[in-house]
A and B are shown apart, each in its own frame.
Chain A
Amino acid sequence: MAGSTLASPTADAAPLGSASRARYVSPARDTWRRFRRHRLAVAGLAVLILMMVAVALGPLVWRVPINDIDFNAQLAGPSWAHPLGTDDLGQDVLARMLYGGRISLAVGLAAMLVAVVVGTIVGALAGISRGSVDTALMWLTDLFLSLPQLPLLLLLIYLFRDPLKQLVGPELGVFLLIVVVIGGFRWMQVARLVRAQFLSLREKEFVEAARALGATKWRQVVRHILPNSLGPVIVAGTVDVAAAIIAESTLSFLGLGFPPDIPTWGRILFDAKDTLDIAPHWALFAGAAIFLAVLSINFVGDGLRDALDPRKVM
């Protein structure tokens, strides 16, 4: 991967680059081709897909019920009967991890997307427009940053839990609420980062050139500034996935999350913390799963950025 971040073509990249110029490739396909060159990104994508398949199909293969209480196997270490051991009620950790993983991954990814998309839009709008629009948007950002989250969360539960349940059913309702809440509290950082990039980039020569050539504001943003400010967005995305998975477990302690008997990864980690010295296995696998998910999402993000970066020749 050496050289993949340099501005000028390096020796090993050059032949490929010239070869690709020979025939027409559609932009999507070109992106995929560039993405594939990023080996870690491909590995990350593979791991991510593997995890998704595992949590989607795993419970069909590993048919141990998640709430089968077995008092004779409390806090037992890994064994053939329980490959990842059991928790303090003797419930199978593997089955619970597979089941809870669906929610953790879905919440993590969806909340991250909400945060990143909202943050990017707000940041880009504020960064490209000046004066009152910028001021108003930054006021909104400051407001969200200074709101105390806990009372607001309690208020949201109280206002929206029952109406949402009636509207879209209990599970989807809770899911939507969680995603909106977590995403809604994490977009401000992205917005400030994107705006800062915009402030700097919009004065750069290449944007000026585009402006001089008569590019519309929309085109300046989408084609020129935005792709160059994706760096912090992608980092924010990976940080947010981890934060969202953990935040979900915090929410269930406020009664906002899923019912207490649903073992999401963050929840398992929280439940296991008091017995860390007695039964480390209980926390280990949940922690490792979150780490792996974050790691692979990050590599996918890195790969995407490299693939979308027009300056880079691969």
Chain B
Amino acid sequence: MTRYLLRRLLIAVPSLLGISLVLFTVLALAPGDPFGELASNPNVPPEVAAALRAKFGFDDPVWLRYLRWLVAMLHGDWGFSFVSRVDVDRLIWQRLPVTLIVIGSSQILALVIALPVGVFSATRPYSLFDQIANTLAFIGFSLPTFFTGILFILVFSIYLHWLPFVFRGDLGITGWRWYWEEFRQAAMPVAVLGLFQGASWTRYVRSAVLDVIRLDYVTTARAKGIAEFAVVTKHVVRNALIPVVTLVALSMPLVFGGAIVTEQIFRVPGIGSLLISSILANDTPVIMAVTFVFACLVILFNLTADILYGWLDPRIAYR
């Protein structure tokens, strides 16, 4: 086990290097440059864009730019944003708390919905509860977040006047009022994301539990007279958790990466909106930094999932 872990961690280093190389190449080859807005402004002479390109090393060959980036990254220098003209880590730190709060709560909400509903549905397949839960789940992931977001705004902000729909990163208040306001403004983005994620997770949980619940050992456990609740929690859910762990591990990096569409709708100043505006402005250092951290998290959480499999099902051997 320890050897397996060590080996995986050792492999992670070259794979991260490889991923960063692919990332950089894609970004370098992708069309567009950070100074597009200048080009369509008749007041700015073309030399300005050319000077900026030269200043930020845009005209150097890709491999040289990659090496420069890699060396800087190894020294802990995350780079310098072309667009904001500040250090990239500063931009990321500014947005990390909000991203963690909003995306983190939405993931928790999704799990809190998906686990009980999925398990309960599976233990009573095709019952009324199951049918209703399923229908809602299908509606949940058939409707894109850009749509549900606007629906929520119309209902809760515009007709009912309950919640604000412009998210403010800096509320300028403290104490209990801060918690209350923060809750009010985070409620809609968290709900939109959490329900969308929860809807598809419910389906996965239900399916996983259904797969396990009909296995012989569950029947045996029932036959032994163990209470239904204990059967489900002890024997079924633990074995059904493998796909759930996989899914959660897959979506955990999002807590850092943010959710682009939802952040855009509610103006949440998260990392997702930083990433999309950087991509649209071709602000390579920011994109590189965000996606590279994201890649590290992807590898880390998938590795965690692999280790958790062994704990959930001791028969899984790592060889």
A151 touches B204 (CB 8 A): no
B68-76, B80-88, B136-144, B163-171 - interface stretch? B136-144
In whole angstroms, what is the CA distance A274 to B265 when docked?
12
Give the bracket for the number of chain B residues in contact with chain A: 35 or more
B317 touches A203 (CB 8 A): yes
Binary A-proximity of B197-223 (CB < 8 A = 1, otherwise 0):
000100110011011011110110000
A155 touches B (CB below 8 Å):
yes
In whole angstroms, what is the CA distance A111 to B141 when docked?
17
B142 touches A142 (CB 8 A): no
In the complex, chain A residues whose CB is within 8 Å of the CB of B207: 231-232, 234-235
In whole angstroms, what is the CA distance A247 to B18 when docked?
28
B37-45, B53-61, B150-158, B174-182 - interface stretch? B150-158
In whole angstroms, what is the CA distance A31 to B279 when docked?
49
Q: A1-B125, A139-B18, A199-B309 are known contacts. Are A148 and B279 too (CB-CB below 8 A)?
A: yes
In whole angstroms, what is the CA distance A8 to B200 when docked?
29
Interface residues of A in 243-274 (CB under 8 A from B): 243, 246, 249, 266, 269-270, 273-274
B10 to chain A, nearest CB (A): 11
A152 touches B243 (CB 8 A): no
A228 touches B (CB below 8 Å):
yes
B291 to chain A, nearest CB (A): 5
A242 touches B (CB below 8 Å):
yes
- Chain A residue with minimal CB distance to B127? A2
In the complex, chain A residues whose CB is within 8 Å of the CB of B19: 142-143, 146
A200 touches B22 (CB 8 A): no
In whole angstroms, what is the CA distance A234 to B30 when docked?
35
A5 touches B23 (CB 8 A): no
A148 touches B275 (CB 8 A): yes
A238 touches B (CB below 8 Å):
yes
In the complex, chain A residues whose CB is within 8 Å of the CB of B135: 295
A154 touches B31 (CB 8 A): yes
B18 touches A8 (CB 8 A): no
A143 touches B211 (CB 8 A): no
Residues of B near any A CB (own CB < 8 A): 8, 11, 15, 18-19, 22-23, 26-27, 29-32, 125-126, 135, 138-139, 141-144, 146-147, 150-151, 154, 158, 200, 203-204, 207-208, 210-211, 213-216, 218-219, 242-243, 245-247, 249-250, 253, 275-276, 279, 287, 291, 294-295, 298-299, 302, 305, 309, 313, 315-317, 319
